[in-house]
Amino acid sequence: MPKSRHHAPPAAGVRPARSERTRLELLLAAEKLLALHGLRGVSLRQVVAATQQRNISTVHYHFGSREALVYAICDFRMPAIEEARAARIARFIESPPARAERVRELVHILVEPTAQPVVASRGRSHFRRLLAHSFVSDGMDLRGYIAGRYDLGIQQTADLMRQELPHLSRATFGTRWALLIRSMTYLLANLETRAELLSWRKAKKMLDGEIDAMATAFAGFFAAPDGCNKDARRRSRAPATRKPTKR
């Protein structure tokens, strides 16, 4: 897997050097194009053209390859998401809500930080749609790049939620957690798309309301009985079938 050439985003109020400005322009242009056309639907020439650069060697200089450019977008966006989630987890551990509210709050902790790019750009982001493509494209292993780099908060949230759901087997919890991750990814991509068409006031209201509804819905989803255990008990109570005797 190619490694991205990590560059931290410029500090607020600091005018970046010309090289850094060019790099950021390429990064943002690529993010938008990939979000709109998919991980396999964008060439480096299109990225260069979108920034009105004259030479494709510019993108090779800053990123090295197409894959590294995509990974660099993750390096640009994911740290803020992880930082926000870590802060929420710390508050949860220090002062947990009432037991009946914990699973719902943990879904909030998982989902809300993922909307950080949408909030930071006041509804003009593209990163959530880019990530959604990683679930349907085999162009590159974007999820594999994120795993181990930017998923510590996700793993911690899963561990905390598992403690609150002793009625679920490990297998059932794993299945439901995977469904939550996929659903969250697609729902956030949809919210990002819709937010782009609204004023920020309306977009923020929509975002807050639907994330809250998402947390409520998935809390109920996780609270549901373990169907695997129920099926296993039903099979254990079923009478043994008798083989027909030969005459």
Please give the structure tokens belonging to residue 165: 């759901």
Average pLDDT over residues 120-133: 96
CATH value at residue 96: 1.10.357.10
At 136 the pLDDT is 87
At 212 the pLDDT is 98
Please give the structure tokens belonging to residue 58: 């510019």
At 110 the pLDDT is 98
Q: Is 134 contained in some domain? A: yes
Helix (H), strand (E) at residue 205: helix 200-223
Q: Is 37 contained in some domain? A: yes
Q: Is 10 contained in some domain? A: no
- Dump pLDDT digits (tens) for 19-34: 899 999 999 999 999 9
Q: Is 13 contained in some domain? A: no
Cα–Cα distance measured from residue 55 to residue 30, given in angstroms and rounded to the nearest whole number: 15
Q: Is 207 contained in some domain? A: yes
- Dump pLDDT digits (tens) for 189-213: 999 999 999 999 999 999 999 999 9
Please give the structure tokens belonging to residue 23: 């790099």
Q: Is 166 contained in some domain? A: yes
Question: What is the end-to-end Cα distance of the chain in Å, rounded?
Answer: 67
- Tell me the residue range of the domain where 202 lies: 18-224
- Number of structural domains (the chain) is 1
Q: Is 237 contained in some domain? A: no
Cα–Cα distance measured from residue 165 to residue 49, given in angstroms and rounded to the nearest whole number: 51
Q: Is 81 contained in some domain? A: yes
